Amino acid sequence: MKQEAVKNKKINVPPNFIRNIIIDDVKKGKHGGRVHTRFPPEPNGYLHIGHAKSICLNFGMAEEFNGLCNLRFDDTNPIKEEEEYIRSIQEDVRWLGFDWEDRLYFASDYFQQLYDWAVQLVGDGKAYVDDLSADEIREYRGTLTESGRESPYRNRSVEENMDLFQRMKAGEFKNGERVLRAKIDMSSGNLNMRDPVMYRILHAAHPRTGNEWCIYPMYDWAHGQSDSIEGITHSLCTLEFEDHRPLYNWFIEQLGVHAPQQIEFARLDLTHTILSKRKLLRLVREKLVDGWDDPRMPTISGLRRRGYTPESIRDFCERIGVAKSNSVVDISLLEHCLREDLNKRSPRVMAVLRPLKVIISNYPQAKVEDLEAENNPEDPTAGTRKIPFSREIFIEQDDFREDPPRKYFRLAPGREVRLKHAYIVKCEKVVKDGNTGEIRELHCTYDPGTRSGSAPDGRKVKGTLHWVSASHAIQAEIRLYDYLFIKADPNDVPDGMDFVFNINPNSLEIVQGMVEPGLADAGRGDRFQFLRNGYFCVDTKDSTRENLVFNRTVTLRDTWAKIEKKIS
RNA sequence: UGGGGUGUAGCCAAGUGGACAAAGGCACCGGGUUUUGGUCCCGGCAUUCGGAGGUUCGAAUCCUCCCACCCCAGCCA
């Protein structure tokens, strides 16, 4: 039995090329068989589902091979980085279920070491101070097809470079006046090797180091060396860094320090979603959404507020695999993982989104019955609860059709339907507004012999509706979320337009619904399945005891919607 | 003749010369169960691996050429 479980676990974890490399390295005893990874976010925005892929990979590989995974902030650009992001990123990684223990690091922790190493390279004649302006450096760099030219300052003496670099650090020069560059090869086909900038002058306060520094290392100079300092064995990053790898290796080799192996994988892309930090920032800044944690955002905080579980996100990250081809994952896979998890764990509850009053004419005026309802058919241990039933109830407007289409087996004039956990009722009369013709209420009769829903005569009733007792139900604000972008590819826009063009105008619809009375005690963040509707959670920001607010996490699969679409 | 990558079903993705007339998942399409048109269960869904040649008894896997797409010219990461 146990063996089977182990086997099943193995089967469920799809192999990927990174795991294969690590297995191989461990087998060969590389790095003493050690596995040490890191998740290295830049604190310039909130984490999103794409980062979750990287987090799961890095922490996952470490866990699988009894290794370690660090959390390291790549905070080398004080102009873009903020404390708020440092805070939120930690919260999100933790919420996803990962633990960096005492290994919280910052590239800025290594500024002094990085500087000392830079001095070493200057001393070795492998780095030089360049006085060219940014524009000139670009010109000298050449183009994709033409070789670059060497800077006139490239062959300064070690002494002069040393002096200038120290003065850069001392704050003698203004922003942009000079940079430190590695002396590599201006004719390389790889632009990253054409004397990359290592340090730029930035007279800006850093969230962590304050005004201690006015020169800041560039990514290429900081990242690999940080990896090395931390003893990272496998430095996993995304595809766009593939042609930085030669530079990554070059620095490590010049320094002769511990050499981590950089391995690149394809970043996640999702349909109906945008995962560019720049674009997400724009949605926030232009108030096209209600902040980073708007439930329509693909950010971890948005998904959390929407009602996603960390388990479902981790499952998703496992299922999409890890490879090197650029791909766009269908968001329905994410939703599938979500539903699968929520189905197992969510208590069922009845809530009517768009109420239609039903009067059960043959039910006694003042009578109230407490009916027993199971909390979760998927989980027998979830128990049961009592829900009140009375003469006047609300059902969903969608559950009644005056002129029902084919295959519709909900309520219609003269038809019978079962009320979940209650009785079979029959629609006797439709009451309409005299002026508008709008359906006001329904008059039904119930069959007292069908309590709990089954008929003693054995007659079959196809439809089962959810409902709430009108006088007992409580009102709640229900926020119905849909995709933020109408098109699978939000960037597919007419000439001159951008992704904002594809924002779904109906991504949020707010209704005042009626929910069963037991929900009065629901606390922020609690998740439920609203029977036949979907999964909902109590909003963590706006919900109060007096004014319950629910977010729709995801709908239930809706076979009827498909049938209806087909027959119409 | 710039460099670096990738191409397996609508979408992800295993597979790295022989038990492959190519796993698995999502989506989709049928059917069954069902007091959620939910869940669950069963079945279908690539004679073919970007294309063309070649090597081999045997190729998605090796070789050659070609095609398509992605990334790189920040003192961003």
Q: Which nucleotide is nearest to A197 (CA to C1')?
A: B75
Q: Which amino acid is at A34?
A: R
For A268-301, the pLDDT digits (tens) are: 999 999 999 999 999 999 999 999 999 999 999 9
Q: Which nucleotide is nearest to A343 (CA to C1')?
A: B39
Chain mean position to CA A300:
4
Q: Which nucleotide is nearest to A193 (CA to C1')?
A: B3
pLDDT of A59 higher than 70 = yes
Q: Which nucleotide is nearest to A460 (CA to C1')?
A: B35
pLDDT number for residue A460: 87
Q: Which of A110, A97, A68, A61 minimizes the C-alpha distance to A222?
A: A110
| Residue spans of alpha helices (H) in A415-505 | none
pLDDT number for residue A12: 57
What residues contact residue A388 under an 8 Å CB cut-off, 6+ apart? A368, A369, A370, A371, A469, A472, A517
pLDDT of A545 higher than 80 = yes
User: pLDDT > 70: what percent of chain A?
Assistant: 98
Give buried/exposed letters for A227-259 (b at 16+ CB in 10 A, else e). bbbbebbbbbbeeebeebbebbebbbebbeeeb
Residues A59, A39 contacting (CB under 8 angstroms) = yes
Chain B bases closer than 7 angstroms to a protein Cβ:
2-8, 10-16, 23-29, 35-40, 69-77
Long-range contacts of A360-365 (CB under 8 A, 24+ apart): A360/A391, A360/A392, A360/A393, A360/A425, A360/A444, A360/A445, A360/A446, A361/A428, A361/A443, A361/A444, A361/A445, A362/A445, A362/A446, A363/A390, A363/A391, A363/A446, A364/A391, A365/A391
The partner residues of A528 in beta bridges, in order of sequence, read A536
| Å from the A181 CA to the B12 C1' | 42
| Six-digit token string for A15 | 């192999």
- Cβ neighbours, 10 Å, residue A323: 12
For A502-534, the pLDDT digits (tens) are: 999 999 999 999 999 999 999 999 999 999 999
pLDDT number for residue A1: 27
Distances (CA, A) of A304 to A92, A95, A299: 9, 9, 8
Q: What's the rounded mean pLDDT across residues A550-560?
A: 98
| Six-digit token string for A138 | 């670009």
ipTM over 0.95: yes
Residues A324, A265 contacting (CB under 8 angstroms) = yes
Query: The tokens 């005893």 sit on which residue?
Result: A29
pLDDT of A330 higher than 80 = yes
For A121-173, the pLDDT digits (tens) are: 999 999 999 999 999 999 999 999 999 999 999 999 999 999 999 999 999 99
How far is the C-alpha of A370 from the C-alpha of A561, rounded, in Å? 33
pLDDT of A7 higher than 60 = no
| Six-digit token string for A124 | 């070795």
For residue A321, count CB atoms less than 10 angstroms from its CB and return exposed for 0-12, middle for 13-18, buried for 19 or more.
middle
Q: What predicted TM-score, i.e. pTM, was given to this entire model? A: 0.96
| Å from the A330 CA to the B49 C1' | 22
Give buried/exposed letters for A411-433 (b at 16+ CB in 10 A, else e). bbeebbbbbbbbbbbbbeeeeee
For A433-443, the pLDDT digits (tens) are: 999 999 999 99
For A68-84, the pLDDT digits (tens) are: 999 999 999 999 999 99
Residues A307, A346 contacting (CB under 8 angstroms) = no
| Å from the A8 CA to the B21 C1' | 28
| Å from the A323 CA to the B48 C1' | 22
How far is the C-alpha of A248 from the C-alpha of A259, rounded, in Å? 9
For A339-396, the pLDDT digits (tens) are: 999 999 999 999 999 999 999 999 999 999 999 999 999 999 999 999 999 999 999 9
Q: What's the rounded mean pLDDT across residues A242-254?
A: 98
Catalytic residues of A: 42, 267, 277
How far is the C-alpha of A510 from the C-alpha of A480, rounded, in Å? 6
How far is the C-alpha of A419 from the C-alpha of A415, rounded, in Å? 13
- Minimum mean pLDDT among A181-190, A281-290, A452-461: which range? A452-461
| Å from the A46 CA to the B23 C1' | 37
pLDDT of A331 higher than 80 = yes
Distances (CA, A) of A267 to A55, A241, A321: 12, 11, 11
Closest CA-bearing residue to C1' of B69: A326
pLDDT number for residue A49: 98
- Local structure of residue A239 (DSSP, 8 states): G
Residues A272, A499 contacting (CB under 8 angstroms) = no
Q: What's the rounded mean pLDDT across residues A544-558?
A: 97
Q: State which H helix or E strand residue A219 sits in.
A: helix A219-229
pLDDT number for residue A2: 29
Residues A430, A404 contacting (CB under 8 angstroms) = no
- Cβ neighbours, 10 Å, residue A450: 20
Please state at what angle helix A331-345 crosses helix A310-320, rounded to 10 degrees.
140
pLDDT of A3 higher than 60 = no
How far is the C-alpha of A230 from the C-alpha of A113, rounded, in Å? 12
| Six-digit token string for A363 | 């039910």
pLDDT tier for residue A453 given thresholds of 50, 70 and 90 = confident
- Cβ neighbours, 10 Å, residue A392: 15
Q: What is the mean pLDDT of chain A?
A: 96
pLDDT number for residue A292: 98
How far is the C-alpha of A134 from the C-alpha of A289, rounded, in Å? 36
Chain mean position to CA A380:
31
For chain A, give the longest Cα–Cα distance: 102
How far is the C-alpha of A132 from the C-alpha of A244, rounded, in Å? 23
| Å from the A51 CA to the B60 C1' | 32
Closest CA-bearing residue to C1' of B40: A378
> A348 by DSSP, 3-state: which?
strand
